[in-house]
Amino acid sequence: MASFSDALQALAQGQLKAEILLAHMDRALARNPRVIDSVLAHLAEAYESGLIEAQTSAKLKAHALRTVRGLQAHGDEASGHPFADDNRAAATSLAAGDAAAPQFASAADGVDIGELDIDLTQTAAEAPAETRFAGSPVAVGAVLKERFLLEEILGVGGMGMVYKSRDLLKVEARDKNPYVALKVLNEAFKKHPDAFIALQREASRQQKLAHPNIATVYDFDRSEGTIFLTMEYLDGQPLNSYLRREVRPRGGLPFAEAFPIIHGLGQALGYAHEHDIVHSDFKPANCFLTRSGAVKVLDFGIARVIQGQDDSEKTLFDPSSLGALTPAYASAEMLNGEEPDPRDDIYALACVAYELLAGRHPYDRKSATYAREHALVPPAIPGLGRGQMHALRRALALRRSARTPAIATFLDELRGRRRMTPTAWLAIGAVVALLLLAAAVVVLRHAPADVAARPAVHRTQG
Residue 32 near residue 111, CB atoms below 8 Å = yes
In angstroms, the CA 13 to CA 9 distance is 6
Kindly list the distances between the CA atom of residue 177 and the CA atoms of 142, 164, 232, 296, 373, in Å, as whole numbers in the listed order.
20, 12, 10, 19, 51
User: What is residue 76's three-state secondary structure?
Assistant: coil
User: What is residue 231's three-state secondary structure?
Assistant: strand
- Determine whether 281 is an active site residue: yes
- Per-residue model confidence as pLDDT tens digits over 63-102: 888 887 776 665 544 333 333 333 333 333 333 333 333 3
Phi-psi region of 345 (alpha: psi -120 to 50; beta: other; left: phi over 0): alpha
Q: To 10 degrees, what angle do helices 255-274 and 342-358 make?
A: 170
- Edge-to-edge strands, sheet with 236-238: 236-238, 287-290, 295-297
Q: What b/e readout covers 351-385, taking b as 16+ CB neighbours within 10 angstroms?
A: bbbbbbbbbbbbbbbbbbbbbbeeebebeebeebe
The answer to whether residue 39 scores a pLDDT higher than 80 is: yes
Q: Which helix (H) or strand (E) holds 422?
A: helix 422-445
In angstroms, the CA 432 to CA 195 distance is 58
Report how far Cα 410 is from the mean position of its chain's Cα atoms: 17
CB-CB neighbours of 120 under 10 Å: 16
Q: Is 237-414 a domain of CATH 2.30.40.10?
A: no
CB-CB neighbours of 262 under 10 Å: 23
Residue 389 exposed, middle or buried by CB count within 10 Å (0-12, 13-18, 19+):
middle
Q: Which of 37, 167, 281, 299 is catalytic?
A: 281
Residue 256 exposed, middle or buried by CB count within 10 Å (0-12, 13-18, 19+):
exposed
Where exactly are the structural domains of the chain?
2-116, 132-232, 237-414
CATH of domain 132-232: 3.30.200.20
The pTM (predicted TM-score) of the whole model is: 0.65
Band (pLDDT 50/70/90 cuts) for residue 353 is: very high
Mean pLDDT confidence for 137-161: 81
Q: Check residue 318 and report its DSSP letter.
A: -
- Per-residue model confidence as pLDDT tens digits over 241-275: 899 999 999 999 999 999 999 999 999 999 999 98
Q: What b/e readout covers 181-217, taking b as 16+ CB neighbours within 10 angstroms?
A: bbbbbbbbbbebeebbbbbebbbebbeebebebbbbb
- pLDDT at position 25 is 82
Mean pLDDT confidence for 21-25: 81
